[in-house]
């Protein structure tokens, strides 16, 4: 059975019919990206994904990475793909061409990444970390640092990573112990140990540039005293040539559940006292620098999880169409032949669940990309603040909610295949294993829920969250005027009103003596917020589909548009009632989670 990465028809629908991204070409910054160019970019990404990345996904998973004497070798098949990726200039799609980028809109890059990550997410980790590290150099580096590092990173000659986590400082970054001591020449001597470092060491590139979080000697404790440093694996001379080894040593790689083609490294800095770094940004401002890039990183993680789910869904649909098993439930002839399993109700339930979530998640992620482009293009401060506020509220949903649902979709994808889904004969089990990490890294999903409740709900005195509700209500108002969508609109309208009540209640509770109870409900609050946003996207899609169906579309498009209506119907009638039940639970402020004694959990 041919493996599929993403539904091109749906990708085009979101880009051109829902978000109308070709309108971005009216602005000078994106004038080269008309519809024809955008379609060409997506087609080239799809071709590379299917012909190269996808074909080596299984082999790379089985071969994995190898560690020996401080050296890490990645799967051999990655070397050819990495050369093609570099040649196509895919690493820095949205960045300045002067530094090796393509200067394309963020939303178009997300469409390309949908294909890349669905085809081979472990391979993509090498490139995403490289780009993220380069972005820190671009944003906070001196002109000298940019000149020495940036183009080589964005073009993939050199790699990059992010050295943040330590054995005793994971989610609690402020507890880190890596130390920086200032040298007489303005550089810093770095010493410390880092763990869980994706692509911290690999043989794809000749040098790896590490942004490192460390505390300058004498700096305040906690996050207030953390600085960011640029630490290359091999020192770079002022003329851009490579110098001496910089005492950055990989001490081992993790044996993991998934993403076997991506090395997760333990790193020792300055074990011989010879690790030199330069300050990136200002002293004691390392965490604020990290938060600047966090939106990008967390959006990419959402895309990683979603892409696994999208691929799993497409594979499940194609398998269900061809796998013949069991008679039709309504067959009356005892000799009736078996039918494809897509005709069985429970399989259809799982497929429609996967379909509706896959479509809604794609719309959410691409929409955030469009907002990022609008931030770049906006000349009005109030508009720019509004767009950025929407992004900030949506990021914990894009990372937390999307990856939670994506893992569930990958589980459905295994289930549709039955026993075959549990074997390595098909990619379904690998997609499930690989997807799991997206719920954990770049801030666990519990932290995303705390971020939504503790920071984003009250952002701009609550205006950002209210702006989001206003956007949802605009679609509701439109749908109320469309006969076949009115009931969906009323259902979502009731849900939005209740979400607003829940937000006000939990926001107050989070500032009271019952703060612990409020944060015990942070994840359910993220869930119901995500459900509401998902329903908004599906209703928006249904509005557009209805308009298209009323306009006598081509025969090949009729089933696609009718499918949009069924996705919305399914979600409104089966998911939102459960969501409102969760909202009632949150409003009850039940304190069992907080009141139970530690001993009552047992386990001894």
Structure confidence by residue, pLDDT tens digits, 392-447 = 999 999 999 999 999 999 999 999 999 999 999 999 999 999 999 999 998 999 99
Give the separation between CA 455 and CA 451, rounded to whole angstroms.
Answer: 5
Mean pLDDT of 172-191: 91
pLDDT at residue number 1:
59
Q: Is 442 a catalytic residue?
A: yes
pLDDT higher than threshold 70 for residue 2: no
555-570 and 522-550 helices, crossing angle to 10°: 150
Q: In Å, how far are 9, 356, 448, 562, 564 from 559, measured between CA atoms?
A: 12, 15, 37, 5, 9
Structure confidence by residue, pLDDT tens digits, 7-54 = 999 999 999 999 999 999 999 999 999 999 999 999 999 999 999 999
Q: Could you confirm whether domain 8-154 is CATH 3.40.50.2300? A: no
Give the separation between CA 127 and CA 208, rounded to whole angstroms.
Answer: 12
Structure confidence by residue, pLDDT tens digits, 96-153 = 999 999 999 999 999 999 999 999 999 999 888 899 999 999 999 999 999 999 999 9
Q: Which member of 442, 471, 513, 547 is catalytic?
A: 442
Cα-Cα end-to-end distance for the chain: 49
Contact 5, 119 (CB under 8 A): yes
Mean pLDDT of 157-166: 93
Which run of H or of E encompasses 268? strand 264-269
Structure confidence by residue, pLDDT tens digits, 292-348 = 777 788 999 999 999 999 999 999 999 999 999 999 999 999 999 999 999 999 999
Helix (H, G, I), strand (E, B) or coil at 194: strand
Mean pLDDT of 457-480: 97
Tokens representing 303 are 């895309």
522-550 and 402-417 helices, crossing angle to 10°: 70
Q: Could you confirm whether domain 159-284 is CATH 2.40.110.20? A: yes
pLDDT-derived band at 170 (thresholds 50, 70, 90) equals: low
Structure confidence by residue, pLDDT tens digits, 52-103 = 999 999 999 999 999 999 999 999 999 999 999 999 999 999 999 999 999 9
pLDDT-derived band at 168 (thresholds 50, 70, 90) equals: confident
| Residue 302 CB contacts under 8 Å (≥ 6 apart), including other chains | 361, 365, 398, 399, 402, 403, 438
Contact 361, 541 (CB under 8 A): no
Percent of the chain at pLDDT above 70? 99
Tell me the domain boundaries of the chain: 8-154, 159-284, 455-594
486-509 and 522-550 helices, crossing angle to 10°: 160
Q: In Å, how far are 375, 542, 558 from 562, measured between CA atoms?
A: 34, 9, 6
Tokens representing 422 are 């549990």
pLDDT-derived band at 288 (thresholds 50, 70, 90) equals: confident
Mean pLDDT of 196-223: 94
Mean pLDDT of 222-244: 94
Q: Let me know if the fold of 8-154 is the same as that of 159-284.
A: no
DSSP assignment of 295-362, as one string?
HHHHHHHHHHHHHHHHHHHHHHHHHHHH-B-S--TT---TTPPP-BGGGSHHHHHHHHHHHHHHHHHH
Give the separation between CA 410 and CA 433, rounded to whole angstroms.
Answer: 9
């Amino acid at each position: 059975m041919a493996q599929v990465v993403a539904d091109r028809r749906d990708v085009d629908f979101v880009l051109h019919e829902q978000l109308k991204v070709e309108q971005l070409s009216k602005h000078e910054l994106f004038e080269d990206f008309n519809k024809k160019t955008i379609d060409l970019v997506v087609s080239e990404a799809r071709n590379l994904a299917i012909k190269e990345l996808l074909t080596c996904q299984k082999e790379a998973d089985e071969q994995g990475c190898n560690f020996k004497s401080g050296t890490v070798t990645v799967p051999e098949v990655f070397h050819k793909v990495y050369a093609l990726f570099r040649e196509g200039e895919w690493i820095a799609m949205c960045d300045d061409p002067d530094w090796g980028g393509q200067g394309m809109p963020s939303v178009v890059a997300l469409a390309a990444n949908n294909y890349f990550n669905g085809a081979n997410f472990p391979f993509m980790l090498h490139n995403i970390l490289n780009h993220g590290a380069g972005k820190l150099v671009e944003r906070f580096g001196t002109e000298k640092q940019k000149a020495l590092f940036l183009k080589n990173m964005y073009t993939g000659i050199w790699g990059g990573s992010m050295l943040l986590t330590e054995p005793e400082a994971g989610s609690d970054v402020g507890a880190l112990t890596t130390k920086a001591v200032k040298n007489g020449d303005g550089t810093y001597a770095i010493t410390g140990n880092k763990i869980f470092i994706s692509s911290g060491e690999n043989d794809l590139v000749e040098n790896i540039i590490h942004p490192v979080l460390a505390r300058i000697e004498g700096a305040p404790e906690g996050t207030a005293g953390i600085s960011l440093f640029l630490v290359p694996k091999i020192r770079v001379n002022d003329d851009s040539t490579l110098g001496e080894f910089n005492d950055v040593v990989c001490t081992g790689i993790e044996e993991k559940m998934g993403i076997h083609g991506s090395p997760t490294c333990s790193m020792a800095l300055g074990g011989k006292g010879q690790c030199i770094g330069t300050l990136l940004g200002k002293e004691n401002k390392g965490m604020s620098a990290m938060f600047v890039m966090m939106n990008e990183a967390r959006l990419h993680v959402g895309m990683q999880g979603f892409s696994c789910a999208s691929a799993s869904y497409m594979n499940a649909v194609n398998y269900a169409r061809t796998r013949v098993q069991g008679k039709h439930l309504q067959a009356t002839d005892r000799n009736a032949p078996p039918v494809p399993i897509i005709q069985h109700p429970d399989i259809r339930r799982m497929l429609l669940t996967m379909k509706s979530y896959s479509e809604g998640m794609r719309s959410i992620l691409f929409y955030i990309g469009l907002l990022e482009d609008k931030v770049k293009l906006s000349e009005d401060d109030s508009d720019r603040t509004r767009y950025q506020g929407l992004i900030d509220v949506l990021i914990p949903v894009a990372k937390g909610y999307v990856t939670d649902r994506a893992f569930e979709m990958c589980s459905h994808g295994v289930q549709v295949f039955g026993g075959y889904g549990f074997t390595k004969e098909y990619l379904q089990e690998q997609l499930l294993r690989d997807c799991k990490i997206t719920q954990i890294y770049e801030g666990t999903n519990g932290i995303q829920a705390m971020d939504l409740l503790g920071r984003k709900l009250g952002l701009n005195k609550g205006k950002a969250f209210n702006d989001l509700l206003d956007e949802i209500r605009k679609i509701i108002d439109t749908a109320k005027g469309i006969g076949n969508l009115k009931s969906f609109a009323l259902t979502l309208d009731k849900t939005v009103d209740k979400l607003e009540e829940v937000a006000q209640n939990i926001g107050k509770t989070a500032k009271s003596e019952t703060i612990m109870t409020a944060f015990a409900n942070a994840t359910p609050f993220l869930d119901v917020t995500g459900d509401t946003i998902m329903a908004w996207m599906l209703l928006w899609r249904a509005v557009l589909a209805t308009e298209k169906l009323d306009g006598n579309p081509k025969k090949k498009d009729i089933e696609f548009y009718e499918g949009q209506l069924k996705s919305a119907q399914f979600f409104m009638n089966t998911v939102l009632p459960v969501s409102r039940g969760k909202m009632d639970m949150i409003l009850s402020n039940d304190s069992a989670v907080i009141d139970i004694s530690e001993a009552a959990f047992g386990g001894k």
